[in-house]
Amino acid sequence: MGAWNGWYHVNGNTYGTWLPGDPRGWRAKKHRRHVAGDYKHPPPPGTDALLHQFNRRSLALTPVHLAPPQRQIAGQAFVEMLMCQGIETIALCVTAAHFHLLGRFRDAQVRPPVGRAKKHACFVLKDSGLAGRLWTAKAKVTPIRDREHQVNVFNYICRHQAEGAWLWTFRDGIYWPSTIRKK
């Protein structure tokens, strides 16, 4: 099933913040292993605790949690790169551990432009002192089914602002205050 008018909801995590065995629930790659629960209905406490502990110890770098100024810098870089690639974006939020994006990808190639935006955010954040790996390898891509679904996703992304996320919508434009971003 294709996306309605080319619209997709894309979300991804920062490095090391959602691992196999996570107490909030998780999914095995290609669903090779059945895992009870998800983030809405977490598995019973202690389920896969050893797996989660193993994966945390196996990380090459420390998990990345973005501070509020870093969220803004990463979000602005994300929006700038998406706009440069001609991706119509109507909402983006960046939290301490993940991002959500609602955009129109005309040729159904979603991951390459999102990957370039993630890479651009990494380079820009390097200037602010955050070096190393920032994002997980792949983002989750969900096609938008219809206008109602698009509006629901837009509102869902906007609600993240109440949790401390940096939020940008098409209404804000891309004129950043000079105090935050130096050219």
163-181 pLDDT, tens per residue? 999 999 999 887 766 545 4
- Give residue 55's pLDDT band: very low, low, confident or very high (50, 70, 90): low
**Co-location of 51 and 139 in the same domain:** no
Please check whether residues 73 and 158 belong to one and the same domain: yes
Same domain (yes/no): 72, 95 = yes
Tell me: do 48 and 68 sit in the same domain: no
Place of tokens 């991951």: 111
> Is 20's pLDDT higher than 90?
no
Q: What is the pLDDT of residues 128-175, one digit of tens each?
A: 777 778 898 889 999 999 999 999 999 999 999 999 999 999 998 877
Q: Which domain holds residue 54?
A: 29-58
Do residue 33 and residue 109 come from a single domain? no
Q: Are residues 46 and 92 in the same domain?
A: no
Reading the block at residue 74, the tokens are 């990463």
21: left (phi over 0), alpha (psi -120 to 50) or beta: left
List, in sequence order, every residue forming a beta bridge with 91; answer none if it has no partner.
102, 169
* Within a domain: 183: no
Q: Count H helices and E strands in the chain, helices first.
A: 4, 5
Cα–Cα distance between 93 and 40 in angstroms, integer?
20
Q: Report phi then psi at 18, rounded to 5.
A: -140, 105
Q: Which residue has the higher pLDDT, 55 or 171?
A: 171
The mean-pLDDT minimum among 73-77, 105-109, 175-179 falls in: 175-179
What pLDDT is stored for residue 183 in this prediction? 46
Q: Which residues of 103-136 are buried (b: 16+ CB within 10 A; e: fewer)?
A: bbbeeeebeebbbbbbebbbebbeeeebeeebbb
User: Domain total for the chain?
Assistant: 2
Please report whether residue 180 resides in a domain: no
pLDDT at 179: 47
Q: Which helix (H) or strand (E) holds 141?
A: strand 140-143
Higher-scoring residue by pLDDT: 101, 136: 101
Q: How far is CA 31 from the centre of its chain?
A: 21
Looking at the structure, tell me whether residues 121 and 155 fall in a common domain: yes
What's the sign of the alpha-carbon dihedral 152, 158, 159, 160?
A: positive
Instruction: Let me know whether 40 and 105 are in one domain.
Output: no
Tell which residue, 85, 116, 121, 82, has the closest CA to residue 102.
82
In 56-119, the DSSP E strands lie at 88-94, 98-104
Q: Is residue 44 domain-shared with residue 127, that is, in the same domain? A: no
Q: Do residues 35 and 73 share a domain?
A: no
Question: Which pLDDT does position 28 carry in this prediction?
Answer: 67
Asked whether residue 20 is domain-assigned, the answer is: no
CATH number, domain at 76?
Answer: 3.30.70.1290
